[in-house]
Structure 1
Amino acid sequence: MKNKRTPAIRFAGFTEDWEQRKLGEVYTERKERGNDSLQILSVSIHHGVSNKELDSDTLGKKVRRSEDKSLYKHVYFGDLVFNMMRAWQGAIGVVKLEGMVSPAYITAIPSAQLYPLFMDYCLRRDETIIQIDNLSYGVTDFRKRLYWNSFINVLCRIPSVPEQERITAFFTRLDNIISLHQQELITLKQTKQGFLQKIFSQEIQFKDDGGNDFPEWELKDLKTFFKYGKAGGTPKSTESKYYNGNIPFLSITDITSQGRYITSTKKTITEAGLDNSSAWLVPADSLIFSMYASVGQVTINKIPLATSQAMFSMIIKETECIEYIYQYLSFFKDSREILKYIETGTQGNLNAETVKNLLVPRPVLKEQQKIANFLARLDDIITLHQRELDVLKETKKAFLQKMFV
């Protein structure tokens, strides 16, 4: 470890050096068995130990409780728990309430030198996880394990218990603020989904500038809205002079991270390993719809780029509103309607012909624009809250760097 003995940022009144300890000096292994009256807790890479028994809704899959609880491990507030198979990825944390955990987990009792919740922040820092990774054994990552005899050799520096308490209180408040922002963001996204449902079912209807009803909507094939559309394929010969390794390449990761507008990409065609047989050059301000991975993801590219055959790209007619079509396809992706079109016997893909013939409600252009503008304002508010949340998370990372040794 570094020889540094004090953090860069410190609360007033604390001046003593932080002491280096092996985890085996401040933890002893707990091997107490659980019982049926206790709730089963889990430990995850992103959140540490759960503060309640996770149900099917939370996990997104059916939860199976083993019939035999005799091997489950009883844990108490302050105990440390880690998943032997995933500790190297961050599956480690401190228990917030009494319960029991899987027999595949290792549990440990904190010594009097620790304010237990302090270690939830100390041990989940990148620097500590790197140590855990280096001390985990396995032929491949899939087989890596952190055994107790290796865990006890992990090094950390700890301050006095009163300083541990002050640091923990600071990060607890920061986590509470982050949680509040996360909940506000979830509520905003749910609000938008509610509006989408009501708008496209016409429970909510827009009026023209004179306060009159717009004409009735028509159902049209998606191909009605674009003047040119296709999946990635061989570029036209007239485009070949623009085709070189510097062309930005659009991946599904770009769409999921940037959302409504694509303003940059992480790869070029060369880096993506593509050649002339598997990409199409797409002009800026096209609508791009994913047919394979993350089926139904949709975006508008603000820069010229290339797409693979997994993407269907559309150049929208001037008589239609691209933002309206974006909003409808986003709604289509999140509704169960998309399941009707996914090909059976595949990994959940759509083909180009199916995409062309998707039925889309078609208001007149003026109403398309009103709908798009309303939903875009909601998107802007959501984006603002997402940025604020991201800033808070980055702030926490910075404090974790500066307030620990």
Structure 2
Amino acid sequence: MYDVPHLRFPEFGGEWRKYKLAEICSFFSGGTPSSSKKEYYDGNIPFIRSGELHMDKTELFITEVGLDNSAAKIVDVGDLLLALYGATSGDIAISQIKGAINQAILCIRTTQNKKFIESVWKKHVEKLLQTYLQGGQGNLSADIVKNISFYFAESNEQIKLAKFITLLDERIATQNKIIEKQQSLIKGIVDNLMTALLKGELYPFSSFYIKAGEGGTPTTSVDEYYSEGTIPFIKIDDLSCKYLTSNKEFITELGMQKSSAWLIPSQSVIYSNGATIGAISINEYPVCTKQGILGIVPNTNVNVEYLFLLMSSSFFSKEVNRIITEGTMKTAYLKDINHIKCPLPSMAQQKSITNLTSSIEEKLYTEKKLLKFLNLQKQHLLRTMFI
């Protein structure tokens, strides 16, 4: 068996060579200036954190004094940055800015093509995380990364592959911008409509539904609450689209009975009131939810599409932010949400409002399908054009 990719540009031949990253790269990570020292912050040095690898700006800045009195280190535009631990562990990007990094980021420098390394890393990242972050626990480290081996093409083939993947990434970035603009347009229309409606009569949110409440999580140690379950069990990651049409986890009838979970009928609003507050969907089929996610069953005076737009609006978000309770986890309790005064126009007016956004939403749905196709295409090319 030859060490060559399945799909290849026709002008290239010969086998790829396998190297440990330590053989062709150098590495360093950073540190964090003491947060108790005010003189270390609000300077002019961008402080890159692991959630900002793909960005061209940072939220935090540190001073030269903060840099000199900590383990923070400077990276340059074009350096390859890898998130070692936390929610973004395994994420990789070529830095768009010159700034300082903390201990959760590993800088990788090499004479090899960095886009090539980024691409081959992305091909293998799921397997790498399964190996080193078993069960979601554990961290990557510089020592682990140094000992990972990849196959490398000769320089000219690396360059051509990198240019090809870069073109695809640029197309994906463009598609994301198209989607963001359409989402902004919908949000602008909804916010303007809500501003106008707020001048009329307002009603407490409790009058919008016939039933509402949080879900509950069956004890994970009891296998019969989950094994061969058929009842959709919704978590925060499932609330990524307007219409909830699929989910990853299920519980059994017994699991639902032995917890505070309840079966929320279809055409209800599913709303996160804990952790990621404001994530929202309309469920297309009956579901149960975990704690921190509300099911809201609209009454006969409320169109579910209108309820979704209302709860997605800036007005509603601001009102919810006012009643958030701080604790081990930020929570917007239903008992407090119930007191928010909201506009409730006639059913005919509600339908007119939802019709204004429906055509844009159909276009948005099409653009999201295209984005999904582009991402799948990229994954296919990573699998077939890299070893």
Q: Same fold (TM over 0.5)?
A: yes
Shift of 1:403: 0.5
Contact persistence 2:306–2:354 (CA under 8 A): yes
Distance 2:46 2:163 in 1: 27
Could you tell me which of 48, 55, 58 is aligned with 1:55?
58
Equivalences for 1:60-209 in 2 at 5 Å? 62-65=60-63, 67-70=65-68, 73=73, 75=75, 79-82=79-82, 89-94=89-94, 101-102=101-102, 107=107, 109-111=109-111, 114-122=112-120, 124-127=121-124, 130=127, 141-142=137-138, 144-147=140-143, 151-202=145-196
Name the residue aligned to 1:26: 24
Could you tell me which of 285, 294, 319 is aligned with 2:267?
285
Letter matched to residue 193 of structure 1: K
Flag the 1:143–1:291 CA change in 2: closer, same or farther, 3 A: closer
Letter matched to residue 171 of structure 2: I
Name the residue aligned to 2:235: 251
| CA-to-aligned-CA distance 1:291-310 (integer Å, 9 cap, x gap) | 33433433322222334564
How many residues are aligned here? 361
Contact persistence 1:260–1:299 (CA under 8 A): yes
Flag the 1:391–1:39 CA change in 2: closer, same or farther, 3 A: farther
Q: Does 1:394 align with 2:373?
A: no
Flag the 1:316–1:8 CA change in 2: closer, same or farther, 3 A: same
Name the residue aligned to 1:213: none
| CA-to-aligned-CA distance 1:367-387 (integer Å, 9 cap, x gap) | 111001112332222222222
Distance 1:137 1:346 in 2: 25
Letter matched to residue 174 of structure 1: L
Distance 2:273 2:87 in 1: 35
Return 5+ residue gaps in structure 2 as ranges.
30-42, 217-227
Contact persistence 2:52–2:58 (CA under 8 A): no
Could you tell me which of 344, 358, 361 is aligned with 2:340?
358
Letter matched to residue 6 of structure 1: V
Letter matched to residue 276 of structure 2: S
| CA-to-aligned-CA distance 1:13-62 (integer Å, 9 cap, x gap) | 1121112223233235689xxxxx995574747856x6x4x332xxxxx4
| CA-to-aligned-CA distance 1:194-246 (integer Å, 9 cap, x gap) | 1121111119x9xxxxxxxxxx84211223333x2132589xxxxxxxxx953
SS in 1 for 2:269: strand
Flag the 1:360–1:104 CA change in 2: closer, same or farther, 3 A: closer
SS in 1 for 2:263: strand
| CA-to-aligned-CA distance 1:157-206 (integer Å, 9 cap, x gap) | 11221111111110111111111111121222222221121111119x9x
Name the residue aligned to 1:377: 359
| Structure index of larger Rg | 1
Shift of 1:95: 5.2
Could you tell me which of 199, 204, 221 is aligned with 2:204?
221
Equivalences for 1:220-239 in 2 at 5 Å? 220-226=203-209, 228-232=210-214
Contact persistence 1:43–1:93 (CA under 8 A): no
Name the residue aligned to 1:211: none
SS in 1 for 2:365: helix
Flag the 1:162–1:388 CA change in 2: closer, same or farther, 3 A: same
Flag the 1:380–1:28 CA change in 2: closer, same or farther, 3 A: same
Name the residue aligned to 1:212: none
Contact persistence 2:215–2:288 (CA under 8 A): no
| CA-to-aligned-CA distance 1:48-94 (integer Å, 9 cap, x gap) | 6x6x4x332xxxxx444462434654555665454565799324454
Distance 1:46 1:353 in 2: 36
Flag the 1:201–1:271 CA change in 2: closer, same or farther, 3 A: same
Could you tell me which of 329, 346, 358 is aligned with 1:347?
329
Letter matched to residue 287 of structure 1: V
Shift of 1:118: 2.3
Contact persistence 2:215–2:293 (CA under 8 A): no
| CA-to-aligned-CA distance 1:231-282 (integer Å, 9 cap, x gap) | 2589xxxxxxxxx95332333332x23x322233333333995434512223
Name the residue aligned to 2:313: 331
Distance 1:294 1:272 in 2: 28
Aligned CA RMSD, in angstroms, stands at 3.9
Distance 2:341 2:369 in 1: 34
Return 5+ residue gaps in structure 1 as ranges.
32-36, 57-61, 206-215, 235-243
Distance 1:158 1:280 in 2: 53
Q: Select the structure that is richer in helix.
A: 2
Distance 1:29 1:233 in 2: 46
TM-score, normalised via structure 1 length: 0.74
Distance 1:288 1:131 in 2: 34
Distance 1:85 1:353 in 2: 37
Distance 2:17 2:108 in 1: 20
Name the residue aligned to 1:7: 5
